[in-house]
């Protein structure tokens, strides 16, 4: 069960934070060691394979070098037959020339095969060595050399000590019959360079302590780095079965096409000792780490616990008194930040309380204003209806008509329905507005409203036509002959285009720039105060920034204002129902 105290939790968390990485490191390290061991095995196998390939290439090199002395189509490769004939005929010039040819042949073979060491001809019947390129020891007996392979036409010996006098390096060699002279065989003997075998069987190329063992096809040891356990010349049947290991080595095998095999023995003690040493070191590090973790847990608990107690006291003080100021004490930087943020939160809560109080008072004021707004339209409508009935009773038709039109305009403008109407409703309200303006102004002006039938049911924001006509009246129609044309028709791309054009005095660029600014009191005197800025904002709000009010005007040329209303994608929803009248 998870403890409730901070001290116990910190102890557990710190122990876990130390133990889990240690455990993971141990698992990863163990896996890494196993992986390294596997990689080492793969590396040993790969390196051993390369040793076998290099050994085969060395034997092939000896074979190639020796074949350059073999009789081909009746001609001795090294010119040995001609040499013997010159010797029998006592033709010293010919003998000297053929001798030079043979030596040139030896020189050429040695030059083209840099890994070749000692070379000479051998006549076993006469125990005679000829044309040796190095000083040879007195005891050359090929039948006593360790035979690696017997290929009938030649034999490979070795590894064995070089026949070069004064040297004890191990070499590989080939012994091949190259000619029969006077029914007596002549052999060529070639061995490898003195350092070649040492390079082939170099032990440090494996990266681990490794020995080499070379056996022939019968399992006889031809070469061994551990002569105490596997002496040269001993027969080892275990290698024929490719035994995996013994008490000291893990063995890896590479067998050649000729039957001999090269074996790598990796010391077990190296791996086991490394694993044991790693385990001991890991255990010591683990114990030390856990002890340090416990000490750190206690120190952290002491460091954190005291500021927490103080923080708890401050919270309780703020809970009882929101105006409580934090005590000024030295704390850790992190706790200082926490205290400062908590104090900021306290101040914000205090401000929110004050804001809620202000909003509550404002809400009450708005409720009163809303009640007054709801009362005023009813009072106005009732008063106008009374005036209209008095005019009818007294037979004053002009006042009756004026009040009737004004009542409709007022009802439309002060209606409580939504902000979306049909074009036909907006046009009807515009006609009533124009009728009022004709009565108001003492000069005649012509307002022509041309609406195509298919646009009458299109939804449109309320109060977008009246401000356009109001602006045309306000910005300078002539006293006589003034005309305003309102065209509403379908255009291309699923659009309804509304155009309001007048033949007034026009406007300057400066005046045009002021049109979309907030309405002034002076401008509101000419109508109900619904300005062009309102039209522009309504269009952009409902349709987007690209559908604002467009104004074209030049001084003396009149003014044209355009609206584009989408009827396809992005159109407004149809208004539900009609106007409600009180």
63-90: pLDDT as tens digits:
999 888 875 544 445 567 777 777 777 7
Residue 177 lies inside a defined structural domain of this protein: yes
Task: Report pLDDT for 562.
Answer: 94
335-350: pLDDT as tens digits:
777 777 877 887 888 7
Determine the average pLDDT of the residues in 475-497: 82
Task: Report pLDDT for 451.
Answer: 95
Q: Residue 475: which pLDDT band, with cuts at 50, 70 and 90?
A: low
Residues 518 and 548 in one domain: yes
Residue 476 reports pLDDT greater than 60: no
Task: Report pLDDT for 172.
Answer: 95
Residue 399 reports pLDDT greater than 90: no
Residue 572 lies inside a defined structural domain of this protein: no
**Percentage of residues of the chain with pLDDT beyond 70:** 83
Task: Report pLDDT for 534.
Answer: 83
The answer to whether 343 and 326 are in contact (CB under 8 A) is: yes
Residues 338 and 402 in one domain: no
- Return the minimum-mean-pLDDT range out of 188-192, 364-368, 371-375, 422-426: 371-375
Residues 381 and 497 in one domain: no
267-273 long-range contacts, CB within 8 A, separation 24+: 267/208, 267/209, 267/210, 267/211, 270/208, 270/209, 271/37, 271/208
Residue 109 lies inside a defined structural domain of this protein: yes
d(CA 260, CA 151): 13
Residues 438 and 556 in one domain: yes
Pick from 177, 197, 217: which residue ends a domain?
A: 197
Residues 539 and 474 in one domain: yes
Greatest mean pLDDT range, 6-10, 312-316, 326-330, 465-469: 465-469
Instruction: Give me the count of residues in the chain.
Output: 582
Residues 404 and 528 in one domain: yes
Determine the average pLDDT of the residues in 465-472: 87
Determine the average pLDDT of the residues in 274-295: 76
Where residue 484 sits, what CATH number does that domain have? 3.30.565.10
Q: Residue 174: which pLDDT band, with cuts at 50, 70 and 90?
A: very high
DSSP 231-288: -TT-B-HHHHTT--B-SSEEEEEEE-TTS-EEEEEEEHHHHHHHHHHHHHHHHHHHHH
Residue 181 lies inside a defined structural domain of this protein: yes
Task: Report pLDDT for 528.
Answer: 39
Residues 165 and 89 in one domain: yes
Residue 323 reports pLDDT greater than 70: no
428-437: pLDDT as tens digits:
999 988 888 8
Determine the average pLDDT of the residues in 556-564: 90
Where residue 93 sits, what CATH number does that domain have? 3.30.450
Residue 566 reports pLDDT greater than 70: yes
Task: Report pLDDT for 90.
Answer: 78
The total number of structural domains that make up the chain: 4
Residue 481 reports pLDDT greater than 90: no
495-528: pLDDT as tens digits:
999 999 988 888 888 878 777 776 555 555 544 3
Residue 581 reports pLDDT greater than 60: no
Residues 445 and 385 in one domain: no
Task: Report pLDDT for 71.
Answer: 59
Residues 528 and 454 in one domain: yes
Residue 44 reports pLDDT greater than 80: yes
* Higher-confidence position of 528 and 167: 167
Residue 110 lies inside a defined structural domain of this protein: yes
d(CA 27, CA 32): 8
Residue 34 lies inside a defined structural domain of this protein: no
Number of CB atoms found within 10 A of residue 434's CB: 19
Task: Report pLDDT for 76.
Answer: 44
| Containing structural domain, residue 219 | 204-269
Residue 213 lies inside a defined structural domain of this protein: yes
Residues 456 and 469 in one domain: yes
Greatest mean pLDDT range, 197-211, 310-324, 397-411: 197-211
d(CA 481, CA 443): 9
Residue 281 lies inside a defined structural domain of this protein: no
Determine the average pLDDT of the residues in 100-122: 89
Residues 557 and 429 in one domain: yes
125 half-sphere exposure, CB direction, 13 A CA radius: 8
**Bridge partners, residue 544, by sequence:** none
User: Which of helix, strand or coil describes residue 312?
Assistant: helix
Residue 582 reports pLDDT greater than 50: no
Task: Report pLDDT for 580.
Answer: 42
Residue 307 reports pLDDT greater than 70: yes
The answer to whether 201 and 91 are in contact (CB under 8 A) is: no
d(CA 80, CA 82): 6
Task: Report pLDDT for 74.
Answer: 44
Task: Report pLDDT for 326.
Answer: 66
Residue 375 reports pLDDT greater than 60: no
Residues 339 and 459 in one domain: no
**Percentage of residues of the chain with pLDDT beyond 90:** 20
For the chain, the straight-line distance linking the first and the last C-alpha, in angstroms and rounded, comes to 74
Task: Report pLDDT for 179.
Answer: 76
Pick from 364, 394, 424: which residue ends a domain?
A: 394
Pick from 224, 254, 269: which residue ends a domain?
A: 269
41-47 long-range contacts, CB within 8 A, separation 24+: 41/250, 41/252, 41/266, 43/206, 43/207, 44/206, 44/208, 44/210, 44/252, 44/264, 44/266, 45/252, 47/205, 47/206, 47/264
* Higher-confidence position of 133 and 302: 133
177-201: pLDDT as tens digits:
887 777 788 899 999 999 999 999 9
The answer to whether 457 and 421 are in contact (CB under 8 A) is: no
């Amino acid at each position: 069960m998870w403890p409730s105290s901070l001290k116990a939790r910190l102890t557990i968390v710190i122990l876990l934070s130390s133990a889990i990485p240690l455990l993971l490191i141990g698992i990863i390290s163990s896996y890494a060691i196993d992986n390294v061991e596997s990689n080492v095995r793969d590396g040993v196998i790969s390196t051993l394979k390369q040793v076998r390939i290099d050994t085969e290439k060395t034997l092939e090199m000896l074979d190639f070098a020796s074949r350059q002395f073999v009789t081909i189509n009746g001609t001795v490769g090294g010119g040995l037959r001609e040499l013997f004939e010159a010797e029998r005929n006592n033709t010293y010039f010919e003998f000297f020339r053929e001798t030079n040819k043979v030596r040139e042949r030896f020189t050429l073979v040695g030059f083209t095969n840099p890994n070749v060491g000692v070379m000479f001809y051998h006549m076993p019947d006469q125990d005679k060595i000829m044309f040796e390129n190095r000083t040879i020891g007195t005891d050359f007996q090929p039948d006593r050399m360790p035979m690696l392979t017997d290929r009938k036409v030649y034999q490979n010996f070795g590894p064995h000590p070089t026949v070069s006098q004064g040297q004890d390096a191990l070499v590989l060699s080939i012994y091949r019959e190259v000619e029969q002279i006077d029914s007596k065989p002549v052999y060529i003997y070639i061995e490898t360079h003195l350092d070649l075998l040492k390079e082939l069987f170099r032990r440090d190329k494996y990266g681990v302590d490794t020995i080499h063992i070379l056996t022939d096809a019968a399992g006889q040891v031809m070469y061994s780095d551990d002569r105490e356990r596997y002496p040269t010349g001993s027969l080892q049947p275990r290698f024929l079965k490719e035994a995996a290991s013994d008490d000291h080595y893990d063995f890896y095998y590479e067998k050649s096409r000729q039957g001999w095999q090269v074996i790598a023995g990796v010391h077990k003690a190296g791996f086991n000792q490394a694993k044991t040493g790693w385990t001991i070191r890991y255990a010591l590090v683990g114990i030390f780490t856990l002890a340090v973790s416990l000490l750190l847990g206690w120190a952290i608990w002491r460091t954190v616990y005291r500021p927490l107690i103080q923080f708890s006291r401050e919270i309780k003080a703020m809970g009882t008194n929101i105006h409580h100021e934090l005590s000024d004490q030295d704390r850790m930087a992190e706790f200082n930040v926490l205290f400062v943020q908590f104090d900021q939160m306290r101040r914000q809560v205090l401000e929110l309380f004050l804001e809620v109080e202000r909003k509550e008072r404002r809400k009450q004021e708005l409720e009163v204003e809303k009640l007054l707004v709801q009362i005023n339209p009813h009072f106005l409508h009732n008063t106008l209806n009374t005036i209209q009935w008095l005019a009818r009773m007294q037979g004053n038709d002009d006042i009756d008509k004026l009040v009737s039109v004004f009542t409709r305009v007022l009802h439309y403008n002060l209606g409580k329905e939504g902000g979306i109407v049909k074009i036909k409703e907006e046009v009807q309200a515009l006609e009533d507005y124009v009728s009022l303006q004709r009565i108001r102004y003492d000069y005649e002006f012509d307002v022509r409203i041309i609406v195509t039938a298919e646009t009458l049911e299109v939804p449109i924001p309320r109060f977008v036509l009246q401000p356009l006509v109001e602006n045309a009246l306000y910005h300078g129609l002539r006293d006589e002959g003034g005309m305003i044309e309102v065209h509403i028709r379908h255009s291309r791309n699923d659009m309804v285009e509304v155009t309001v054009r007048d033949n007034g005095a026009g406007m300057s660029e400066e005046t045009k720039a002021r049109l979309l600014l907030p309405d002034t009191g002076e401008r509101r005197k000419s109508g109900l105060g619904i300005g062009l800025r309102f039209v522009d904002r309504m269009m952009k709000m409902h349709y987007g920034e690209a559908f604002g009010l467009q104004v074209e005007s030049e001084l003396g040329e009149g003014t044209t204002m355009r609206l584009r209303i989408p009827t396809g994608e992005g159109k407004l929803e149809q208004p539900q129902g009609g106007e409600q009248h009180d």
